[in-house]
Amino acid sequence: MKDWRRTHYSGEITPEMEGSEVVVAGWIHEVRDLGGVAFVVLRDREGKAQITIPKKKVPEELAEKMTSLVRESVVMVRGNIQKDERAPGNFELIPNDMKILSESKTPLPMDVSGKVNAELDTRLNSRYMDLRKPEINAIFKIRSVALTEVRNYLESQGYIEITTPKMVATATEGGTDLFPISYFEKEAFLNQSPQLFKQIMMASGLDKVYEIGPIFRAEEHDTNRHLNESISIDIESAFSDHNDVMKLLEEMIHHVTKNVEERCQSELRALEHNLIVPETPFERIKYEEAIDIAGDHGVEVVWGDDIPTAGEKAVGEEIGTYYYIVDWPSEIKPFYALPEPENQELSRAFDLMHPRFELSSGAQRVHKIKLLEKRMLNQDLDPEDFEFYLNAFRYGMPPHAGWGVGAERLLMALTGKKNIREVTLFPRDRNRLTP
Ligand code: AMO
């Protein structure tokens, strides 16, 4: 009995291995029968391997079986390596045997050869097939490296990974955008942010925590940068202020970008994306300056209003790289953002902007319970609903600060993709709940 086990990915085979027998496994990308010779291109995770079938040398039955293969079927091929400068990877395989593992149906739901462009909706409906394209699976290889580097960086800075509940009884970021669920006889919701839990952790003595986990937002809007289920990278740091965590954030963005640039060269090439590693520190622009720049571009923003997308775009175009917006009016930032002690109208909240979108927001937090309760009441929130949170502030709560970064938006920045659905395996949006 022959051992049918993959010995090599296509990318591991080199012309110097000429003469040796290998077993490759993957999908049938292309079959070309030229009469005296036929070519079958097999595609796997690492690239493509050309299988060349000289009809005179290969047993007739095998040649017949290989040339009648249906595209996208899954096979294993045992063959001998031969140098060939015209083939991908500069080698070809002369087959000795083949095993069909799974035959594909026809017609295919979409083309994966890159010759015909499918609509995003069609692609997302057949995501398993869309992902067979190298320029699509490159996105998710980059995602894996990026999240590993986020962890590496935060761990190197003394952060401890935590996971907090996603089924909760109260809103975090304001009450309207919640998905209700039934929790036995009680009303419950999917959590919008780990905000309250990560702040509670600041009273635990662990000091520096991070979480990479899902957040759920029942926002109705349908844009190219919002999802209803998203992955958030959150940190919280005790004995720190807003400046400390802004420095951490820009250093993390630098670290992750640099490592993706170094470790994902073939993926970035597949995406045709020229990734620029940003220099630190990032420019800090005051809210007041940002609304002035927006005004110069015809987007009028009244002091105290949020900056609309058109305003963000105008400022982003002017700056051209990452930048912070600081000194936000206190009234438009959440109750947990600390007002500037010397000027309560302004807060110690910040947004980190990519030229095309908001990447993160954060703040130094209110850690004194009296002020926290006062700010809740000012924002029409009932402190009684937040007792589990407020208790953590009653028995020794250090000053603290933190931020949240949308993982998909970080991936948009790293890959140059313009639509958040492109960088999400199975996006959840206003119209999409399957697959
Ligand atoms: P905020 O609500 O600004 O702040 O969210 C932080 C970051 O998360 C990402 N994000 C989203 N990405 C895709 N779709 C969405 N619907 C979506 N909502 C948010 C964005 C955003 O900048 N608790 C605070 C963070 C903190 O202060 O620590 C918070 O959640 O990239």
Mean pLDDT, residues 297-319 taken together: 95
407 pocket-lining for ligand 1 (C-beta < 6 Å): no
**Closest C-alpha to 22, from 12, 33, 32:** 12
Expressed in angstroms and rounded, the spacing between residue 165 Cα and the centre of ligand 1 is 17
Residue 276 is given by DSSP the state P
Better pLDDT: 385 or 322 = 322
User: 196-210 burial string, b = 16+ CB within 10 Å, else e?
Assistant: bbbbbbbbeeebbbb
For the cut 80, the answer to whether the pLDDT of residue 176 exceeds it is no
Q: Is the CB of 257 under 6 A from ligand 1?
A: no
From ligand 1's centre to the CA of 405, what distance in Å?
6
Q: What is the pLDDT of residue 358?
A: 98
User: How sure is the predictor about 88, in pLDDT bands with cuts at 50, 70 and 90?
Assistant: very high
CA distances from 74 to 95, 101, 112 (A): 16, 5, 14
The predicted structure's pLDDT at residue 175: 62
State yes or no: pLDDT of 17 exceeds 80.
yes
Reference 429, options 234, 231, 225, 233; nearest CA is: 225
Residue 264 has pLDDT above 70, yes or no: yes
In 13-133, alpha helices (H): 60-67, 120-125, 127-130
Quick one: what percent of the chain has pLDDT higher than 90? Answer: 95
Tell which one of 191, 236, 361 to mutate to probe ligand 1, the residue whose CB is within 8 A of the most ligand atoms.
361
232 lines ligand 1 (CB under 6 A): yes
Q: Tell me the pLDDT tens digit for each residue of 213-262.
A: 999 999 998 999 999 999 999 999 999 999 999 999 999 999 999 999 99
Best mutation site among 190, 193, 322, 430 for ligand 1, i.e. most ligand atoms within 8 A of its Cβ?
A: 193
Amino acid at 263: R
For residue 394, what are its two tokens?
């009653």
Atom 6, ligand 1: which residue's CA is nearest? 404
Radius of gyration of the chain (CA): 27
Mean pLDDT of 197-213: 98
For 92-120, write each residue's pLDDT tens digit: 999 999 999 999 999 999 988 877 888 99
Average pLDDT, stretch 178-193?
94
What mean pLDDT comes out for the span 393-397? Answer: 98
Mutate to test the pocket of ligand 1, among 172, 232, 325 (most ligand atoms within 8 A of CB): 232
Q: What is the mean pLDDT of residues 303-316?
A: 96
Q: Which CATH number fits domain 130-282+321-423: 1.20.140.10, 3.40.50.300, 3.30.930.10, 1.10.3720.10?
A: 3.30.930.10
More confident site: 385 or 225 = 225
User: What is the arithmetic mean of pLDDT over 108-133?
Assistant: 91
Residue 404 structure tokens = 């949240």
pLDDT (average), residues 300-305: 96
Q: What's the gap in Å between 403 CA and the centre of ligand 1?
A: 9
What pLDDT, on a 0 to 100 scale, did the predictor assign at position 113? 80
What's the mean per-residue pLDDT of the chain?
96
Q: Report residue 413's pLDDT band, with 50, 70 and 90 as the boundaries.
A: very high
* The pLDDT of residue 173 is above 80: no
Q: Whose CA is nearest to atom 8 of ligand 1?
A: 406
Q: What is the mean pLDDT of residues 312-341?
A: 97
Mean pLDDT of 54-79: 97
Specify the pLDDT at position 1: 66
Band (pLDDT 50/70/90 cuts) for residue 174 is low
- Token digits of residue 223: 């844009």
Sign, CA torsion 15/19/21/26: positive
Choose the residue to mutate in 360, 411, 412 for probing ligand 1, maximizing ligand atoms within 8 Å of C-beta: 360
- What ranges do the domains of the chain cover? 10-102, 130-282+321-423
Q: Is 323 helix (H, G, I), strand (E, B) or coil?
A: strand
CA-closest residue to ligand 1 atom 30: 193
What pLDDT score was predicted for residue 53? 98
- If you measure from the C-alpha of residue 23 to the centroid of ligand 1, how many angstroms do you get, rounded to a whole number? 47
The class (CATH top level) of 10-102 is mainly beta
Task: Give the model's confidence band at 140: pLDDT under 50 very low, under 70 low, under 90 confident, else very high.
Answer: very high
